[in-house]
Amino acid sequence: MDLTAASNRGYLDEAILNLSKPAADMPENHSTRAMCLNNLGKAYEFRFQYSDSKSDDDFNNALTNFELALKLDSAAPMLRVTAGYRGMVLSWPKNPTKAIEFLELTTNLLPTISPRLLNRADQQDNIATFAGFASIGASILLETGRDTFDAIKIMEASRGVMSSLQLETRIDTSCLEDYDKDLAAEFIALRDLLDSPPTDLLATPKTSINLEKKMERRITASKRLNEILLEIHTVEQLNDLILGLSEQSLKSLAETGPIVTVNVSSIRSDALIVTKNRIWNCRLPELHHTTVLEQARTYLDTLREDSPIRRKKTNRFLHTMLKWLWDYAVGPILSELGIASKKEDWPRIWWVPVGLMSIFPLHAAGDHSGKTDENALDRVILSYSTTMKSLSHSRKLSQTSTNSGSQKAVFIAMSSTPNERDLVFAEPEVTQLLSLIPETTCQKTTFKSPAYKTDVLQALTDCNIAHFSCHGIIDNSNPSNTSLLLTDWESNPLTVADINVLKLSNAQLACLSACHASSNRTIDLLDEGIHLTGAFQMAGFPRSIGSLWQVDDERSGMVSKIVWENMLGVDGTIDYGKAAEGLHKAVRALREAARWVEGVEMRFDDQPVVWAPFIYMGV
């Protein structure tokens, strides 16, 4: 219905009249009342927006109903969060104080819409409903003069909700065992129960009672686990187990290099910067929300339509986009950090991009013509993290994982995959790497076609290194189904969800020479970081290498070789701390190699479609 037409506005008056009576007559604490209040608030909001008078009464009535629904403790969390989000957006900028109140109350409720007892698909559906909440909320805080740290806290609390719930249970239980062995054993049992997926069987007369009992068991387990986590929070000696967020902990996290959150909303655009000495924000006034939307749409369309025939067009667009990223985002941020010229001893920076900014290759921003050093690749080593909490988790993992003695590495080379084109360079890539690594340094387990999911998962359980050279496919409708293709991929795919539930204690590095390993194109779930490299981080790998789009298997082999050569010492020992630098060198070498054609003594333009997709995540 076109509510801008005066003839249709009578329907709003009728809706308000019909909704007002049940909202008033229903018991105040009745859970269903929240739905009625939400609808009534929305009707008042529509009448405020589309009427000529813009009545303050309609505005205030809408806010009142949203606030009542938000604060109704008996209501379903989804209804309460819906009301809070609507109230925040409506009240800004007319009533900033009320907008912040809605923001803070809603942020506290967000974890409840994705409870541990739900299966992964339902968690995703719930969270997708509130896409953009973190970005708008942080912008409101900054626009009203609140501290940058406050904006970071809001974003960390309202992004990566699924992973945050999981990180709470991925703690080192040895400290908990020292405190209380029985409590630790109960914690582990509850965690493992809730990590196992709920049954997806359809209820039948024979199974419905059993399914109901299983769901009741999960509900009870979820409540008890939350009680234990609350107890951990209150015990001083256990405080370090939970990933807290304080100004000092963030500064400590930035000891090895600045952490930059890039946030764009319809209100404003900012870089929120954390260094070891300071936390502040840098306004990005020329990075407009509408332009980001337009660039993102064209970028995704260009990658989707790319082919050898259209490759020139793809590279031409990427050149333009990378310069745009430099001019309005990455360049100003590096200038703010005092990095204003080409570096040989490259400093490290961690990007934590928000929303649509997470799909762009920020590490590749700039002019790569060779005529200037105004590009990120010539100035810094850029790494990514989905959230600051996940980076903190990876940092802790890297400090506790063993790096002494012989390491265990698993290599998967899928040169042949059912119903997919052969990867003729997959096996040579792995063979080349195996020859680089001394036997005394590393115990090597190799899978070649055919290789099956169950066997590979079993090999991952005690490895330090996982290296996949295989196909990867992205699921645009459900990113948890994005997968690495093994022999049985059509019947039993190795998905993000499968990897995400692993709990590995000695993992160090995951190298994914596969297409789309770091890509999530489900727009409403961008802030959840649901992709293969993120899943390997959640599984216990503090470092992972992946790609943002389709990659060439021959070029992937070149990248892998340089990464490994950079990590291996003269005595054959592996320095995982040099993995990020190794990828940086590899991408720079690939950028240069892509300018030349064998047998032609002429230097061509670089080809970002070839070198720009490779990214590094973690410490």
**Tokens encoding 352:** 């934590």
In the three-class reduction of DSSP (H, G, I as helix; E, B as strand; rest coil), residue 599 is classed as: coil
Assign residue 363 the CATH number of its domain: 3.30.420
Q: Are residue 539 and residue 437 in the same domain, yes or no?
A: yes
Does 167 score more than 90 pLDDT? no
Choosing from 384, 417, 447, the residue where a domain stops is 384
539, part of any domain: yes
The pLDDT, as a whole number, for residue 294 is 96
**Tokens encoding 181:** 């062995």
Q: Are residue 370 and residue 487 in the same domain, yes or no?
A: no
Q: Are residue 424 and residue 569 in the same domain, yes or no?
A: yes
Q: In whole angstroms, give the CA distance from residue 217 to residue 87.
A: 36
Across 259-294, b (16+ Cβ under 10 Å) vs e yields bbbbbbbebbbbbbbbbeeebebbebeebebeebee
122, part of any domain: no
Per the structure, how many domains does the chain have?
4
Choosing from 87, 113, 139, the residue where a domain stops is 113
Question: To the nearest whole percent, how much of the chain has pLDDT over 90?
Answer: 59
Q: Pick 205 or 538 by higher pLDDT.
A: 538
The pLDDT, as a whole number, for residue 115 is 66
Q: Is residue 510 a contact partner of residue 533, using CB atoms and an 8 Å limit?
A: yes
Q: In whole angstroms, give the CA distance from residue 143 to residue 51.
A: 28
* Concatenated DSSP letters of 252-292: HHTTTS-EEEEEE-SS-EEEEEE-SS-EEEEE-TT--HHHH
Q: Is residue 464 a contact partner of residue 398, using CB atoms and an 8 Å limit?
A: no
- Provide φ and ψ at 615, rounded to 5°: -135, 160
303, part of any domain: yes
Q: Are residue 341 and residue 414 in the same domain, yes or no?
A: no
204, part of any domain: yes
Q: Are residue 472 and residue 369 in the same domain, yes or no?
A: no
What is the mean pLDDT of the segment spanning 585-589? 95
Class of residue 445 by CB neighbours under 10 A (exposed 0-12, middle 13-18, buried 19+): middle
pLDDT tens digits, one per residue of 217-237: 777 887 788 788 777 767 766
The pLDDT, as a whole number, for residue 202 is 42
Q: Are residue 270 and residue 288 in the same domain, yes or no?
A: yes
Q: Are residue 417 and residue 499 in the same domain, yes or no?
A: yes
Q: Are residue 518 and residue 541 in the same domain, yes or no?
A: yes
118, part of any domain: no
What is the mean pLDDT of the segment spanning 364-389? 93
**Tokens encoding 182:** 């029985």
125, part of any domain: no
Going by their DSSP bridges, the two strands 442-448 and 407-413 should be labelled as parallel
Choosing from 113, 145, 162, the residue where a domain stops is 113
Q: Are residue 262 and residue 322 in the same domain, yes or no?
A: yes
Full domain range(s) for residue 322: 251-384
Q: In whole angstroms, give the CA distance from residue 118 to residue 124.
A: 10
Amino acid code (one letter) for 465: I
From 138, 194, 208, select the one nearest 165 (Cα to Cα): 194
Q: Which of 195-209, 395-409, 557-571 has the lowest mean pLDDT?
A: 195-209
From 256, 206, 271, select the one nearest 618 (Cα to Cα): 256
Q: Are residue 427 and residue 570 in the same domain, yes or no?
A: yes
Q: Are residue 236 and residue 265 in the same domain, yes or no?
A: no
In the three-class reduction of DSSP (H, G, I as helix; E, B as strand; rest coil), residue 568 is classed as: strand
The pLDDT, as a whole number, for residue 239 is 59
Assign residue 486 the CATH number of its domain: 3.40.50
Q: Are residue 411 and residue 380 in the same domain, yes or no?
A: no
148, part of any domain: no
In the three-class reduction of DSSP (H, G, I as helix; E, B as strand; rest coil), residue 138 is classed as: helix
pLDDT tens digits, one per residue of 414-460: 999 999 999 999 999 999 999 998 888 889 999 999 999 999 999 99
Across 142-170, b (16+ Cβ under 10 Å) vs e yields bbeeeebbebbbbbbbbbbbbbbbbbbbb
Q: What is the mean pLDDT of the chain?
A: 88
pLDDT tens digits, one per residue of 389-413: 899 889 988 887 655 567 999 999 9
Amino acid code (one letter) for 608: P
215, part of any domain: yes
